[in-house]
Amino acid sequence: MKFWWVNHKQTQRQELAGGYLWSPKVEKNGSRSKFYDNMRVAAPGDFVFSYASTKIARIGVVTDFAVIAPKPTEFRNVGTNWGAEGWILPVSWFDRAIGVKPKAILSSLASILPKSHSPLQSATGKGNQKAYLAEVSREVFAMILGEINATIGDFDQRPTDGPSQNFVDKVEDLIEQSFASDPNLNDTVRSQVIQARRGQGIFRSRVLECEPICRVTGISDLGLLVASHMKPWRMCTSAHERLAGRNGLMLAPHVDFLFDDGLLTFDETGELRFSSRLSQENLARLGLKGVQPAILQPFHRDSVVYLRYHQINVFKS
């Protein structure tokens, strides 16, 4: 279990109400940020403090791993300098208010704040510039909670929200709704793009032309195959990408679930790669422990672009 502290003054209202955290993938200049990379490190069961306007307001628990998602529409004009592509981390926020001002206990808190990538300046108690999701120690959590006569054990009764797929559905619902007013799409293309979200229609037909068999199981029975996007439907920037046959794979349902959730990917030669977050026990139960691809062949060069997107942005190494 890890402990996190998020500085989100600009988006606290939206993120507490929505049950998530969202950050860009990189800084404005394209450089990596430890605070943003932490979004993919946080794991189910980790605790998070919500900090804004000089005080810790709420405590939450991470309910699933982060997934790639566009900037939430409810941010509106907030974060105009942020990239449109980022990480969304599902968090269930407890109703209990915290209301602790770290600056008031800085003399005790400063010595146990992180030496680098701290959410606060140990000398002044002000939030560090560019800090977003920062890892802190259990001692930091215990000290903050001690100010309200609480312990971490008081939060054992976890909220029971759904997994990150709920967020994916919400994001894709909003994107789908936006098509209704898109003047660049005629009715036929609009219908095709919406069907592609569910792996149906012309997208499925085009994927079958390129990848007619599940590479993992060798299944070719069309009733047992799902058309899955390599670059997720929600992250595609055009109808062309959403409908491209080379952006898809035909997979058996259980393989499709793992691929879509980033627990499985392929390299360019067709070799399988499993996420370290998928236990050997569960791999065995799925019949995939030690499995070799039934179809081992390199990906078409037009597919490699989409596959690399999956490797970098979807796969949970």
Q: Give the CA-trace dihedral at 251, 257, 261, 263, to 10 degrees.
A: -80
CB 192 within 8 A of CB 230: no
CB 228 within 8 A of CB 256: yes
Strands (E), 72-201: 85-93, 133-136
The continuous run of DSSP H or E covering 170 comes out as: helix 165-178
DSSP annotation of 110 reads G
Q: What is the pLDDT of residue 159?
A: 57
Euclidean distance between CA atoms 153 and 51, whole angstroms: 21
Q: What is the pLDDT of residue 171?
A: 82
CB 307 within 8 A of CB 231: no
Q: What is the pLDDT of residue 149?
A: 94
Question: Residue 79 contacts by C-beta under 8 Å, 6 or more apart in sequence?
Answer: 10, 11, 24, 71
The token duo for 230 is 């390599």
Tally the residues of the chain.
317
Q: What is the pLDDT of residue 79?
A: 80
Euclidean distance between CA atoms 92 and 28, whole angstroms: 29
Strands (E), the chain: 3-7, 20-24, 47-52, 55-62, 67-70, 85-93, 133-136, 226-229, 248-251, 264-266, 272-274
Q: What is the pLDDT of residue 185?
A: 81
**For the chain, how long is the longest CA-to-CA vector?**
67
Strands (E), 94-244: 133-136, 226-229
CB environment 257-290: b (16+ within 10 A), e (fewer): bbbbbbbbbbeeeeebebbeebeeeebeebebee
pLDDT tens, residue order, the chain (317 aa): 999 999 999 999 999 999 999 999 999 888 999 999 999 999 999 999 999 999 999 999 999 899 999 999 889 888 888 888 999 999 999 999 999 999 999 999 999 999 999 999 989 988 888 899 999 999 999 999 999 999 988 887 665 555 566 778 888 888 888 877 777 788 888 899 999 999 999 999 999 999 999 999 999 999 999 999 999 999 999 999 999 999 999 999 999 999 999 999 999 999 999 999 999 999 999 999 989 999 999 999 999 999 999 999 999 98
- Report the predicted TM-score, pTM, of the whole model to 2 decimal places: 0.85
Q: 167 burial class (0-12, 13-18, 19+ CB within 10 angstroms)?
A: buried
Q: What is the pLDDT of residue 179?
A: 79
